[in-house]
Structure formats: C-alpha cells, structure tokens
Structure 1
Amino acid sequence: MSNQDSVQLDVQESHVVMGNGKVKVTISKPDGFVTGISYQGVDNLLETHNEDFNRGYWDLVWSDEGTPGTTGKSERIKGTSFEVVVENEELVEISFSRKWDSSLQDSIAPINVDKRFIMRKDVTGFYSYAIFEHLAEWPAFNLPQTRIVYKLRKDKFKYMAIADNRQRKMPLPEDRLGKRGRPLAYPEAVLLVHPVEDEFKGEVDDKYEYSSENKDLKVHGWISHNLDLGCWQIIPSNEFRSGGLSKQNLTSHVGPISLAMFLSAHYAGEDMVMKVKAGDSWKKVFGPVFTYLNCLPDKTSDPLSLWQDAKNQMLTEVQSWPYDFPASEDFPVSDKRGCISGRLLVCDKFLSDDFLPANGAFVGLAPPGEVGSWQLESKGYQFWTEADSDGYFAINDIREGEYNLNGYVTGWIGDYQYEQLINITAGCDIDVGNIVYEPPRDGPTVWEIGIPDRSAAEFFVPDPNPKYINKLYIGHPDRFRQYGLWERYTELYPKEDLVFTIGVSDYKKDWFFAHVTRKMGDDTYQKTTWQIKFKLENVQKSCTYKIRIALATANVAELQVRMNDDDTEKTTPIFTTGVIGHDNAIARHGIHGIYRLYNVDVPSEKLVEGDNTLFLTQTMTTTGAFNGLMYDYIRLEGPPLDSYSH
C-alpha cells in the first residue's frame, strides 16, 4: 500500500476521486463536473444543495456564424469519455473529453473539448485546463465566452477578496431575489431592500462592481470565517486570455461564486467575440489554472492572513509558469518556448530632442494584425510585460509562432507596432535592441485635457446617489465602481451641458468622467453637447490645426465635432466618428473599454483670434442612459512648425 500522502485515484462507476492526503476532489464520470471538494475534515466546500452538474464546471457560450451580439447558446461542457492520462504516486492527470460530429450540429458547439484535472503530491489544491479544437471541415461558429465556475457553500463562505483593497463580507444569493431585492437598470444590479442580514440593507449588489483587469487578476476567492478556510482561483498566466493586460473580466460575486474567465466580450462588445470561419482549423489550450485551498495554522490567527497566503501561493505559481507537469503535448514546456527583449523609446520632437525611455510601457506579442488589433484578438495567445523605468523589457516563455510586437505607454497617445513580424521558435532569444515609438503629432500643444492613459479615471467621478451605494467603494480609489453614476450627469447639468474653459477649469473637478445622455422627466433621453472654450492670440492662416481625441470607451455612441458652429441641427460637423462601440463600460462601472484614437483636421479658417469654442456632441439616444463615451485625453495642436515660415 502506498503512503497516504501520495496521490490516489479511485475510479468508480459514476465518478472518480483524486486525493493526496490534503485534498480530495470528486468529479462525475464521464461528464467531468466537479461535485465535491473535501479539505480539513469538511466533507464538501461546494454547494451541496445544487445538483451535481451545478457546483464546479466548465461552460461556454456559442452561436452560429453571422449571429450578431455577444450572447448565444449556453452550454455546460459535458464529457462523454473518461481517461486516466497519468497515474503515479507523484501526480494524477485525468481527462473528460467530448468529440463533435455532424450528428450533433446545432446541439453543441462544433469543437472537440478535452477537460483535464491534475492533482500533485503535497499540493493543497488541484489544477484544471482544457484543449479546444475546431477542424477546418466543420461549421463556422462564434465563441463569445468560456470559463470555469465554482459555486461554494453559501452557509460557509461569506467573505470575498479580489485585491488588497477590494474585499468584504458579502450578501447572500437570496438577498437578490423576490421581495428581498429590487432589480435596477439591468438584471445584474439589485438594490437589497430586505436582506437576511440588516447590515446589507440599502446596498447595491452587482457582479460587475468586482471586475478586474487581467494584469491584476491573478488570484481571488473566498474565506470562511467559521471554518477558518480559504478557497482561491489562481490564474498564473495571461497567455490564454484575450485582449491584453487591460481587458477586464469578472472575478467572484454573490453566490458565493468563483470564476476563472478565459474568453469574454465584457467591456469590449461584439468586436471581441471569437469568430471561427468555415475552413479555419483552430486549437487553443485554456489554463492550467489552480484551485488553491488554505487554512489557518491555529485559532488565534487572523482569517484575513489566508488572503496574504493565497497571494504568496500565486507568486509561486507565476514563477513556476509554464508548468512542467501537464501531460498534453499541446501545452509546451519552457524549453519548447522562446524569449524576446529590447528597449522601447519614445520620440516626440515637441517635448524633447532626445529619445525618452518608455517608462512603464506595456509591451506584448500578439497574433499578427492591424496596429492595436490585439485589443480585440481572441483566437491565439498573447504575451505581455511591463517595461522598467528605462523602457527595457523582456518577455520569456513565449509559445512558438508568428507575432506582432506591440506597445503603449502612459503619457503618449496611440499604439506602437514593430515593423517586422517576430518569429518565435523553441529556445530562441531575440533582442530587438532599441526600438522607437513616434506617437501621432503634427504641431505643438495649444492645450490638452486629461492624461493619455486609456482611462477616464482622472476626470470628475461624482459621489454615488446615497440610495445606491456599495460600502466597499466609499472613499476608495476605484470610486467609479459605484452603481448609477451616469445618472449624476443629469442632476449636475439639468438644462445646460458641460462647459470647460481652458486655463480656468480643472479636468479633475470640471470634466465629467462620462459623456452621457440627459434624462428628461418622461423617461426619454436627449443628446448632449459639451463645449471647450479657449483663446488664441493669433491664428496661422491657410494652415491645418489638429485635434486628437482619444476615447477610453464608447457604447452605441456617435461623437460629432464642430468648431465655432453651435447649431448642431443645421451645421455639418468637421468630423464624426459614426456610430461606435458596444463596450458597456458606463453601465458596468468600468472606466475604460476599447481604446480608440481620432485625429481631426481643423482648417485655420474655422478658428478666430480671441475666443473659440469646440463643440463635442454625443448624438445617440437609442439605449437611453447607456449611450455615451468616456474620453481618455483631448489635445489641440497648432500647425506643423514648418508651415509658420510660409
């Protein structure tokens, strides 16, 4: 008999049990649903009142080719075949797979899925990953979402932690239902009217208030104060998540529910939906991710120390990436991967004659595409890092393949893309040396509003309506995560719209964070026109000035730009974006979605010496409160310097 700390596998008729003396995990067979997690003498950490298929599972949302929007058919991925891949005293890896064929058309997504679970010796938890594959001869389809879901025991897990400053005791799921909760502007947001525990009365519960950017989303989970236990999702790499480091995903929310999100269109919209065309062969490995369990060493310890321990474990997992233990050949180990390094510099002749280091730039490899297309890319793998203060960067353990090298840096608008494709091969170590980003600029800055950082967080974010608060975000740096802030615009500007005067107004106090519609008394909404007033001492004749408008997000919005023409009904704008965006960041407290940069020519005939007004009109009102956009940064540039000599 092997010792009790070695990994054991017990295969039974309808389920399998993996155990290592610390943790025991029960999985239905051949479905591959996690039905039980037992730890520290607690029989099951998952919600036993739920059916077996509704406790721990992989799911996806898919739709037929050409289907608009970000929804579709929801499918809990159900295995039809079980296999023991590896079984020894050190490690067990098991597979629950399902194959697609034409007889299944329209009933399940046209992909093969192989879900894997791994248990290792002396490790307090278990790993899961999946291999998705679509063959070229199969039907085209869309894949808006895939993820892992764990539903923990609601009587035990009441404290949620997603960051050092984002953790709290949470309401119960029944607080959202019936007479206990009142749905607000959309179903996810509920006002807790008669919660089971009085302390939550008058709060808003909304899972989107707990979204997080990929770069910050490496560990999150739940603490049980009465069991002195923690259950955590650790996501050690971003390589299999779409949309780069700033893409926002859901984390944990009332349930208690703990998610590992891989693909989603949240904060991006339909453009983010993965579309696999007929004739495309596609394969991707999602994960592995680690479900980590911890407990207090003794009763005198602070339960919140479980969060600190989970963070330490996350660092261990990140340093171990790519793992060397998954059995699938589709998951390459470190020596089958390559590296790249270099230094990103910025050349902006109007700020400095020298090349400036791209301090803290985000630099990444993504599948080939247009400049900035990595934001919406979801089929392949992406590898990102943050440059140091001198612009030096290194990205290690990159899967083999062809990539674009991309970058962006706070303080400068636009996106950098290296002119050549990067070909990564096993063991390669590419040094691109000094590479230079020249951000868009024609002339000197006349005036600017905001900070070019792809976010609206620096602008005026109002206090929430006292009727709709989440106590976590009172006095919090993420104050934009409160519900209903879009409604404050109408209260601040009931009749006249925002007017910002260059040299007098302060964008931190006077520039509302979101350019939204105005709500009228009869539940209709009207378009809004913001004004930027500025003085010009002299206007260079027969020249072109330039307005740079960087948007942090847009949701079914149209921005029209006029200069010194205040009659929006009768005058043609000098520029319009057309209808853009389905980011939903306004409703989802996101402060940014997809970054968009517009460069608007202003003929000098449109400008006058003395007082000028730039009019910015958001014309769309079809979705009411949520038509709108957030600015990242606006700049007026004078004509190019060489035009002054004409």
Structure 2
Amino acid sequence: MCSLLVLFLISLQWLLILPLSSLGLQLHIQDKHVVMENGIVNVTISNPQGMVTGIRFNGIDNLLEVRNKESNRGYWDLVWEGEGSQGKKGTLDRIETTNMTVITQNEEQVELSFTRTWDPSLKGKVVPMKFDKRFIMRNGSSGLYIYAIYERLEGWPAVNVGNMRLVFKLNKDKFHYMAVSENRKREMPLPDDRLSNRSQKLAYPEAVLLVNPVEPQFKGEVDDKYQYSCESKDAILHGWISSSYSDPPTGFWQITPSNEFRSAGPTKQYLTSHVGPTSLTIVHSTHYAGSDLIMKFGSGEPWKKVFGPVFVYVNYLSNGGDGDPRQKLWEDANKQKVKEIQSWPYNFIASKDFPPSDQRGSISGRLMLQDGDRKIPANRAYVGVAPPGDVGSWQTECKSYQFWSRANANGSFSINNIRTGNYNLYAWVPGFIGDYKYDGAISITPGSHTNMDNLVYQPPRDGPTIWQIGFPDRSAAEFYVPDPDPKYINKLYVNHSDRFRQYGLWERYSELYPEGDMVYTVGVSDYRKDWFFAQVTRKNPDNTYQGTTWQVKFKLNKINKSGIYKLRLALATANVVQLQVRVNNPLQASPLFSTGQIGHDNTIARHGIHGLYRLFNVDLQGSLLVEGDNTIFLTQTESVSPFQGIMYDYIRLEGPPSSVS
C-alpha cells in the first residue's frame, strides 16, 4: 500500500513532495559526530564541537559546502571584546563546544545539547559566557529546529558583544537562486566571482564590481551583502533554491517565527542571505545603529537569554511539469512559515528557559491619538512591550526580550505570548512624530492577561502646521532616490520599489548639484522629486569632501514677533554628523541650533534607508522671521568620508498657538 502511494505521488508533475519515512527517528552517536535522521532528512553534527557538518536530503549527500572545513558549514558565532581591548572589530568566536548530552530521545523527537562554559583560566582567550546549543529533530519533520542559550554568571569579567548569528554555508555548485521576500528573488553570482581576478574592489570590502564573472550575465553588476538586508519584522523567511541539473529543485530555508529574542525592536535591520551561498539568522548586530547597540556587560554582571528556536526547513519538487519550480518551492516555504508562526511558542522545547504558551502572558488595549483638538484611533500603530526604560529606549535595547504587534484601523492591539517579567509599553504611529510610553510598569505573570483599556498618545505639537516636508514613518523612502550610475547596478533593483538599495547613490548628489547645494521651496518643490534622500558630503575634485548646506525657502504673510515657532526635525538616520540650523542668515557664526556630533548608523553605505530614529525640536523666535521670503539653512558640517550624512524622516514648521501665517 505504501509503495503504491509513492508511485501515485511520483506520477504527479511538479508536485511538492517529501520522502516518506519508513525508518522512523534515529540517533547515531559516533566518535567524532552525532547523526540524527527521520527518513526525510539526515543531519550530522560534530561531537563535541556542535557544528552542523552535513545535511543529507532527497538523495543529495550534503546541502552544505563540503569544501569548507567542518567548522565552517553550519555554526553559531559572535564578535566580542574583553576588558582593555584595543581591537577595532573585536574577536570572532565560532563557539566550539566541549560536551554533548542527549536531552530527549523518543519516538517523537530527539533533542541534543552541546555546551561550553568559562573559567578564569580562559580569561582573554574566549568570551566569558556559557553556551548551550540545542538541536531538535522531530518525527515526520522536513528540517531541524535550532536554538541557543547564552549565559553569564556573577563574578565573570566585563565584555562587549557586537554581533551574534546562526550561519549556514551552502553547496556553491547547487544553490544559485536566492529568495529574501516576494519581490526580492534572483539568480546570484558565485563566491568565485568576488575573487580579485574576477572583481574590482569598491568603496568598502563588502561591495565589489563583477568584471569577469564565471557566468557572463552578472558582468557589470555590483555584489554587496547589505543590499539584501531586511527589517526584523520581515526577516521571517529567506533561503536558497538549487539549480543543479543533476538534482530536482531543492530549497533550503531559515524560518524565524518570532523576533522576540532579536535586539532593538521590529524595524531593526538585519542581514539575511547573500553570495556564498550563505544563509543567516542574525539575532543581534550593530548594523544600522553602531555603538549604541553594542551589548555591554559590566564586571560581574549576570545574564541569560534564549535565541531561537529557528527552523531550518528543506523541500523539493519532482521533475517535469509547467510553471516555475522555484516559485512553487517559495510558496511552499511560505506555507511552512505560517505553520511555524501559528505553533509559536513551541511546546516541545525541553529547556526550562523557553516557556510554553501557558507560562506566558498577554496584553490588549486601544491606542488613541490626541493631535491638537482631534482624537483619532492610532491606525496601524506599532505597539510593544520591552524592558523598562526611557521613551524610545526600545530601539537600542539588546539584552532582553521585546514583544510587538500592529494595532488595527481602530487602534486596538493585542500582544500575546509575552515572557514573564516587568515591562514598559511603547508605541509609535506612522503619520505622527515622536514616541509613546505608558507611564506605569506592567508585570507579566504566567497565564496573566492585562487589559490596558484606552491609552492616549499626544504627539509633539505646539501650534498649527505652517509647512511640512515628507511623511513621518521613520524612513527616507518617500524622498527622491536617484537612478544609480549605470556602471554600478544590481539588476534586481532596477525599476524596483526598493531602488534605494543600489550601490553608490551617495555619489549622485554631487553630480546632480554640481554648482551648489539643494534648495527646496515650500509650495513649489515636491519632496518626492526635489528632496534628495540623503544629505551627504560633497566630493571635491581632489577627492576630499566637504559639508553641505540645504535651504528650505518659504513665505510668511504675517509674523508673531513675540511668539515661538517650532521646527521639528525627525531624522531617519545619522552617521558621524553634526546638523546645524540657521535662519535667514547662513553666515551667522553661531548656529541657532546644533545636534553636536551624532550617529554611527552607517546606513548610507549599507543601502538601508533608515537607522535609529531621532527627533529634535528647535525653538525659533518670531523676531528671526520676516514677512515675505524666509530661509532655513540646514548645514551638515562633518566631511571626512562620503558616508557621513543624514536621512530625514520628516520636517515641520509650526507657528505659535495663536499665530496666523
């Protein structure tokens, strides 16, 4: 009966199928390896190092890159700096463990633990943390669940941690097609194409121009891993599809059902997949934020956090049939993504550090906006709970957990499966500036539900809007993003909604404004066409750089000379800059306002369109303004690098409460 079913399935063309298990779930403990298999997938892990060395699936001996060392195929790693370290980038630790334990072994699942601890004899040699890497294989499951528990004990030395991730290096002969999202899928160059004899170095190591690629179709393209970054809320599914003619189309996917363990909230940007072929789950990084997101532990500071689980999912299609098999594999992976999200938090995790749903709590409520005289629902607001802190502190919080949801059109929200602990409730609303924080503390206990009823957020406003530029959504995407230099394109982003991901757009500013800086006239200019997406430095003929001054021109019919006007400057990102404001006198020695030097987001070089959100509120004395023509001068003074600059989110000038303009 079973063999007849198999023959029937094989007879269907382009049907997504998985091998039928006849052997059941098995565990083989060898001298240097541990092998888990369930009749669908076979996974080999080095013993006791805890590195995934092989994934056998559907007749393919190994989906991972066999030419790499066993420690460079599937692994966790982090970058760290100890006390007194002078390194610029820190030390990479690939977290080789020293002990393996079988946690669970039955007919339904196997869970393995690979651990390493720290002691004073290791000071300065390895990161002062304890690691527990877990691998779970379930009966009938086409993949592997992976999570890790990182811990520090009291008395251990201080340490800074920059990046943490789960990495897979796939077989480069087989995996050539990458999928990050529905509109970000493409054939990819080979890693060989990045070698010095096939590529040209560009402005930073991650970006190269492919001048002599193995496949001629990639000639003239830029390859840069940062072009495939994703916001945390969207980095749920990504992966690779094989295009080897000797194998049926096969998919390798990482599914992250929850971002509760990722740093810095739902809009923090992370790397996903890139040329290698490499597949990543980044759980903590300083990318698009800089030093504000270095995880800093003081001497003796204890800590523990669970990262994951992440589901490594594999699928394939039989040969023949109509339609694009890659799209079918992508669609199936999306269906699996939905299943994993619906199953979160998993109830089969053995560690007591990962609480199931009945050991968590929930919050619901409704958020309203009080903007001037009107009160409206906070439509599609981002509402979340994070550790107690200042307003907006969630976007640099990285040691604990965060839980977020989107309000509906009525402002109603519900946040489920929150770990026990004490939190603040935070929110921000597209279309309005600033951050909301609920004044009281929120305690989550097992099985608890907290109804917040109606909450009211009053965004910053002192008076009526005189003019505004942009849309307040913490992104610069609505502004003018130029076409790239034809010499530096990524074909994926030609005529794409994410055109800001092209390489070298910062260089276009000096080309578009060769004689002077941008001038924007309120009521005449259109920010979608006339406001360059980033205020960058100007490149001089001698290859040095200089700061830039942008002008906003506007008319006022009447002035309240004794009143205070308010200039709201919402920044989507800043990278080693100083923004100065002057009014009607660009030569004034002291600016009316200066941010001082701010930001290490490095968003311009990484094609990210936003980093950390910053809001500045500037008082303008009415006596500084005149009836008729006025100009606000926005000067960015720092000018060592082409990557120093600002992306604005939104600018608004408000009149005094009783002013008429």
The normalised TM-score by structure 2 is 0.95
Q: Secondary structure at the match of 2:330?
A: helix
Aligned to 1:336: 359
Specify the SS of the correspondent of 1:579: strand
For residues 477-488 of structure 1, the aligned pairs below 5 Å read 477-488=497-508
What is the Cα deviation at residue 126 of structure 1?
0.3
The alpha carbon displacement at 1:299 in A equals 2.8
1:224-373 equivalences under 5 Å are 224-226=242-244, 227=247, 228-300=249-321, 302-304=324-326, 305-349=328-372, 353-373=373-393
Q: SS at the partner of 2:366?
A: strand
Partner SS for 1:625: coil
**2-structure distance, mates of 1:94, 1:39:** 20
Moved more, 475-484 or 62-71: 62-71
Q: Judging changes above 3 Å, is the alpha-carbon distance between structure 1 residues 456 and 205 closer, same or farther for their aligned structure 2 residues?
A: same
Matched, 1:474 2:491: no
Alignment of 1:17-56 (within 5 A): 17-56=35-74
Counterpart Cα distance in 2 of 1:137 and 1:362: 38
Residue 167 of structure 1: aligned partner? 185
User: Shift of residue 65 of structure 1?
Assistant: 4.3
Residue 494 of structure 1: how far off its partner (Å): 1.2
Contact 2:584 2:631 in 1 (8 A): yes
Q: Summarize deviations over 1:27-58 as a string: whole Å, max 9, x none.
A: 00000000000000111010011111111111
Counterpart of 1:410 in structure 2 is 430
Residue 459, structure 1, aligned to residue 476, structure 2: no
Is 275-284 or 528-537 further displaced after alignment? 275-284
**1:298 Cα deviation after fit:** 4.3
Instruction: Give, in angstroms, the shift of residue 354 of structure 1.
Output: 3.5
Tell me if the contact between 2:81 and 2:87 (Cα under 8 Å) persists in the aligned partners.
no
Q: Could you tell me which amino acid in structure 2 is paired with residue 185 of structure 1?
A: A
Counterpart Cα distance in 2 of 1:412 and 1:292: 39
d(CA) in 2 for partners of 1:437 and 1:70? 42
Which residue number corresponds to residue 3 of structure 2? Answer: none
Question: Shift in Å at residue 277 of structure 1?
Answer: 1.1
1:63 matched to 2:84? The reply is no
Percent identity for Structure 1 against Structure 2 = 62
Q: Which amino acid aligns with 1:162?
A: V
How far apart in 2 are the matches of 1:399 and 1:138? Answer: 26
| 1:633 counterpart SS class | strand
1:372-411 → structure 2 map (5 Å cutoff):
372-411=392-431
- Report if the CA contact (8 A) 1:272-1:377 is conserved: yes
Is the contact made by 1:70 and 1:265 (CA closer than 8 Å) also made in structure 2?
Answer: no
For residue 257 of structure 2, what is the amino acid of its counterpart?
P
SS in 1 for 2:426: strand
Matched, 1:628 2:645: yes
Q: Which runs of structure 2 are paired with 1:438-587 in the superposition (5 Å)?
A: 438-567=458-587, 570-587=588-605
Aligned mates of 1:5, 1:15 — CA distance in 2: 20
Q: Superposed, which structure 2 residues align to 1:135-154 within 5 Å?
A: 135-154=153-172
CA contact (8 A) 1:5 1:122 kept: no
Query: 2: CA distance between counterparts of 1:467 and 1:354?
Result: 51
- Residue in 1 aligned with 2:5? none
Report the equivalent of 2:26. Answer: 8
Q: Secondary structure at the match of 1:578?
A: strand
Task: Please give the alpha-carbon distance, in whole angstroms, between the structure 2 residues aligned to 1:487 and 1:402.
Answer: 47
- Per-residue CA deviations over 1:73-128 (Å, capped at 9, x if unaligned) read 10101010110000011100001100100101111110000000000000000011
Distance 2:652 2:216 in 1: 49
Distance 2:185 2:316 in 1: 18
* Cα RMSD (Å): 1.2
Give the AA of the match of 1:401: G
Q: Where does residue 88 of structure 1 map in the other structure?
A: 106
Deviation at 1:566, TM superposition (A): 1.3
Q: Do the aligned partners of 2:462 and 2:657 also contact (CA within 8 Å) in 1?
A: yes
Letter of the structure 1 residue corresponding to residue 505 of structure 2: L
Following TM superposition, by how much is the alpha carbon of 1:590 offset from its aligned partner in structure 2, in angstroms? 0.4
Counterpart of 1:211? 229
Report if the CA contact (8 A) 2:227-2:607 is conserved: yes
* Aligned length in residues: 635
C-alpha distance in 2 between matches for 1:298 and 1:388: 44
**8 Å Cα contact 1:70/1:144 also seen in 2:** no
The answer as to whether partners of 1:7 and 1:90 remain within 8 angstroms in 2 is yes
Q: Which amino acid aligns with 2:337?
A: M
Matched residue, 2:654: 637
The 1:255–1:341 alpha-carbon spacing in structure 2 relative to 1, beyond 3 Å, is same
Where does structure 2 lack aligned partners over 5 or more consecutive residues? 1-20
Unaligned runs of at least 5 residues, structure 1: none
CA contact (8 A) 1:70 1:270 kept: no
Offset of residue 4 of structure 1 = 3.7
Q: Distance in 1 between matches of 2:54 and 2:378?
A: 49
Q: Does 1:177 align with 2:198?
A: no
For the Cα contact (< 8 Å) 1:62–1:144, is it kept in 2? Answer: yes
Report the Cα distance in structure 2 between the residues aligned to 1:341 and 1:427, rounded to whole angstroms: 14
CA distance in 2, matches of 1:102, 1:6: 44
Deviation at 1:543, TM superposition (A): 1.2
